[in-house]
Amino acid sequence: MRRRAALLGALLLAAGPVSAAETHHPQTNHSATHHPRSHAATPVSAHHARANLAVEPVSRMSEPWWRVRFEAKQAELASRRPNLLWIGDSITQNWESDGPQPFRRFLPIWQRFYGDRNAVDLGFKGDSTCHLIWRIDHGELDGIAPRGVVLLIGANNFGHVHTDAAQTYAGIVAVVDRIHAKLPEAKILLLGVLPSIRSAWVTENTDAVNRMMAAQIRDGRPYLTYRDVGDLFRVNGKVQASDFLDPLLTPPDPPLHPTPAMQERIAAAIEPDVAAMLGDTPHH
């Protein structure tokens, strides 16, 4: 155990820390990943010689806000016994935001689509697959039996954790299999990693991991549906910066987090799948 902890510590130091904006200002959900290092010349298949951090459980309990949120969500799950879960990072956590600026007003959309479905938001700003694996391994899904799970994870793997497409795919598979082991009766709707405008390396690896998921992640997993909603962000094949809230921040950040309007379009696009998971009527 000591050797494993030492290895994970070394890997995290090599990958670089979570940014200050991720750790010190959880109330401003504007950073799943900030300013990744430039790796435009690095091929998608690089870094395989080192251990794959994407599949290892890594705790963030040393970060006060993260610990408070994890414990609060454990209590919420125990009291609510939810029927639907949204699991992910800051893009998912943003569903809880209700302004004051219009570009932070996500909660009314959540209420429209999920307010009468006993849904719980399990988004944690800055999390990658390794942090979500830790959450699941430490009780996040224990003692509940939702009918459906919407899973959106992987954007941060291409940031501070810096795992490539193949490594990130392995991490997403590990997350899916852990969710199914904990919630064997639940249907899982896995979303592709959303487009962003961060670097050529991030775009290359985002596209690659989504191709991998489309090609093979459903094999042997009849409970799993995969949807890539990335085309919602593209006009004539180009991702539109106006569909992200990050350029509206002061100072602006690279486009990563969908605006409320785009998140509403995502919710509408996946609504047939959500309704099918829950056995209810589609919401509009």
The pTM (predicted TM-score) of the whole model is 0.85
Cis geometry, peptide bond prior to residue 100 (ω within 30 degrees of 0)? yes
Name which of 108, 79, 82, 76 is nearest 95 in CA terms: 108
CATH classification (class only), 2-9+44-278: alpha beta
The token pair at 242 is: 């106006």
Please tell me the distance from the alpha carbon of residue 32 to that of residue 155, in angstroms, as a whole number.
7
Note the pLDDT of residue 50: 67
Please tell me the distance from the alpha carbon of residue 237 to that of residue 44, in angstroms, as a whole number.
21
Every domain of the chain and the residues it spans? 2-9+44-278
Tens digits of residue pLDDT in 220-231 = 999 999 999 999
Are 89 and 126 spatial neighbours (Cβ–Cβ below 8 Å)? yes
Q: Which amino acid is at 174?
A: A
Are 178 and 133 spatial neighbours (Cβ–Cβ below 8 Å)? yes
The residue ranges of the chain whose pLDDT is under 50 are: 1-7, 9-31, 33-49
Note the pLDDT of residue 155: 98
**What does the chain look like in DSSP terms, one character per residue?**
-HHHHHHHHHHHHHH-PPPHHHHH-TTS---SS-SPPP-TTS-TTTTTTS--GGGS----TTSHHHHHHHHHHHHHHHHH--SEEEEESHHHHGGG-B-SSGGGB-HHHHHHHHTTTTEEEEE-TT--HHHHHHHHHTTTTTT---SEEEEE--GGGGTTS---HHHHHHHHHHHHHHHHHH-TT-EEEEEPPPP--S-HHHHHHHHHHHHHHHHHTTTT-TTEEEE--GGGGEETTEE-GGGBSGGGSSS---S-SBPHHHHHHHHHHHHHHHHHHHTSPPP-
Q: What are the CB-based long-range contacts (under 8 Å, 24+) for 64-73?
A: 65/23, 65/24, 65/26, 66/23, 66/26, 66/124, 66/126, 69/26, 69/124, 70/124, 70/135, 70/140, 73/120, 73/122, 73/140
Rg over CA atoms, the chain: 18
